[in-house]
């Protein structure tokens, strides 16, 4: 399966018995803005609450759960190791790439993000349901954790010296430069030293991923031999830029899971535009 599919492809495959559609919509964004589309689902979609699939014991938002926990939750949702998955959300492309990346980490790569998400589906007057499909059976999903796709604070801190990968930050330019405040109260803005900035909005156009040529232009400062690691505020929008890079490189890149929230809270070194 491709990493990103369009609405035509999904409509043509709605009745594929091996296809599982996950709705990763949330009522509000990370910035507490209410998402306009509520109570509409692509036919057959199962509600996939990202918060339920995150580490319940972590003080950081959206962090990965243990493979055992993820495996158990997937089985409860009727997901098996042969499932072909399409994930979408009601913000267009926002929450769904995080789900895509999580499944990659857990060893399941037969998953795609719906380009344009639920807004595109509705805009094209395709059928919707008022409720998600109820899960009526468990299944045999097996997690195979890929540690190479996850970077820790210790990994990023060590990289300041050994420089084995390059960090790309998906936050806004103002937050990256340290000239705009972080949405989380008490958190300093700025960036990890030696990192570069590609705001997640820059890889999108009207709720869809930009063309390969446009994406290549955004990543022109990186080398094809360079290993990239993606970061953001909480590990969410980093996955949008990571997926965009995958579309032009065919690489699945690691994400710094704790991202800026962990880095700034832990007292890691911070660079700003003026520094």
CA dihedral sign of residues 166, 29, 112, 77: positive
Q: What is the pLDDT of residue 29?
A: 55
Interior angle at CA 167, CA 93 and CA 31, nearest 5: 40
Q: What is the pLDDT of residue 274?
A: 77
What's the rounded Cα separation, in Å, for the pair 122 and 266? 43
> What is the β-pairing status of strands 204-205 and 208-209?
antiparallel
Contact call for residues 185 and 31 (beta carbons, < 8 A) = no
What's the rounded Cα separation, in Å, for the pair 260 and 1? 32
Please report the beta strands in the chain, taking only residues with DSSP state E, as ranges in sequence order.
4-5, 19-23, 46-47, 84-88, 111-114, 150-151, 166-169, 196-197, 204-205, 208-209, 228-231, 255-256
Smallest Cα–Cα separation from 262: which of 239, 237, 238, 234? 234
Smallest Cα–Cα separation from 195: which of 225, 232, 152, 250? 232
The pTM is what? 0.95
Q: What would the CATH number be for the domain defined by 4-145? A: 3.40.250.10
Q: What is the pLDDT of residue 275?
A: 66
Q: What is the pLDDT of residue 34?
A: 59
Non-local (6+) Cβ contacts of 52 within 8 A are 73
- Residue ranges of the chain assigned to CATH 3.40.250.10: 4-145, 148-265
Which residue carries 């990968």 as its tokens? 165
Decide if domain 148-265 falls under CATH 3.40.250.10: yes
> What is the β-pairing status of strands 46-47 and 204-205?
unpaired
Active site residues: 232
Q: What is the pLDDT of residue 133?
A: 94
Q: What is the pLDDT of residue 137?
A: 77
Q: What is the pLDDT of residue 135?
A: 86
User: What is the chain's pLDDT, residue by residue, as a tens digit (275 residues)?
Assistant: 899 999 999 999 999 998 999 999 987 655 555 566 888 999 999 999 999 999 988 988 889 999 999 999 999 988 998 999 999 999 999 999 999 999 999 999 999 999 999 999 999 999 999 999 998 777 899 999 999 999 999 999 999 999 999 999 999 999 999 999 999 988 999 999 999 999 999 999 999 999 999 999 999 988 777 899 999 999 999 999 999 999 999 999 999 999 999 999 999 999 999 76
């Amino acid at each position: 399966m491709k990493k990103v599919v369009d609405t035509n492809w999904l409509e043509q495959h709605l009745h594929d018995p091996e296809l599982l559609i996950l709705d990763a919509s949330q009522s509000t964004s990370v910035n507490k803005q209410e998402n306009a589309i509520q109570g509409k689902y692509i036919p057959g979609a199962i509600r996939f609450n990202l918060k339920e699939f995150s580490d319940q014991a972590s003080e950081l938002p959206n962090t990965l759960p243990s493979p055992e926990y993820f495996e158990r939750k997937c089985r409860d949702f009727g997901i098996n190791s042969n499932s072909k998955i399409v994930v979408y959300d009601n913000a267009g492309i926002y929450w769904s790439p995080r789900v895509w990346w999580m499944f990659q980490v857990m060893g399941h790569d037969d998953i795609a993000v719906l380009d344009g998400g639920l807004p595109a589906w509705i805009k094209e007057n395709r059928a919707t349901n008022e409720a998600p499909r109820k899960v009526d059976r468990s299944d045999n999903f097996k997690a195979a954790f890929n540690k190479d796709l996850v970077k820790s604070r210790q990994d990023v801190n060590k990289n300041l010296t050994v420089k084995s990968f390059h960090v790309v930050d998906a936050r806004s330019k103002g937050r990256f430069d340290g000239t705009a405040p972080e949405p989380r109260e008490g958190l300093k803005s700025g960036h990890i030293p030696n990192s570069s900035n590609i705001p997640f909005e820059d890889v999108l156009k009207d709720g869809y991923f930009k063309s390969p040529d446009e994406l290549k232009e955004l990543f022109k400062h990186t080398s094809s031999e360079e290993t990239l690691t993606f970061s953001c505020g909480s590990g969410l929008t980093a996955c949008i830029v990571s997926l965009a890079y995958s579309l032009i490189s065919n690489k699945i890149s690691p994400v710094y899971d704790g991202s800026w929230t962990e880095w700034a809270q832990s007292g890691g070194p911070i660079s700003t535009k003026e520094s």
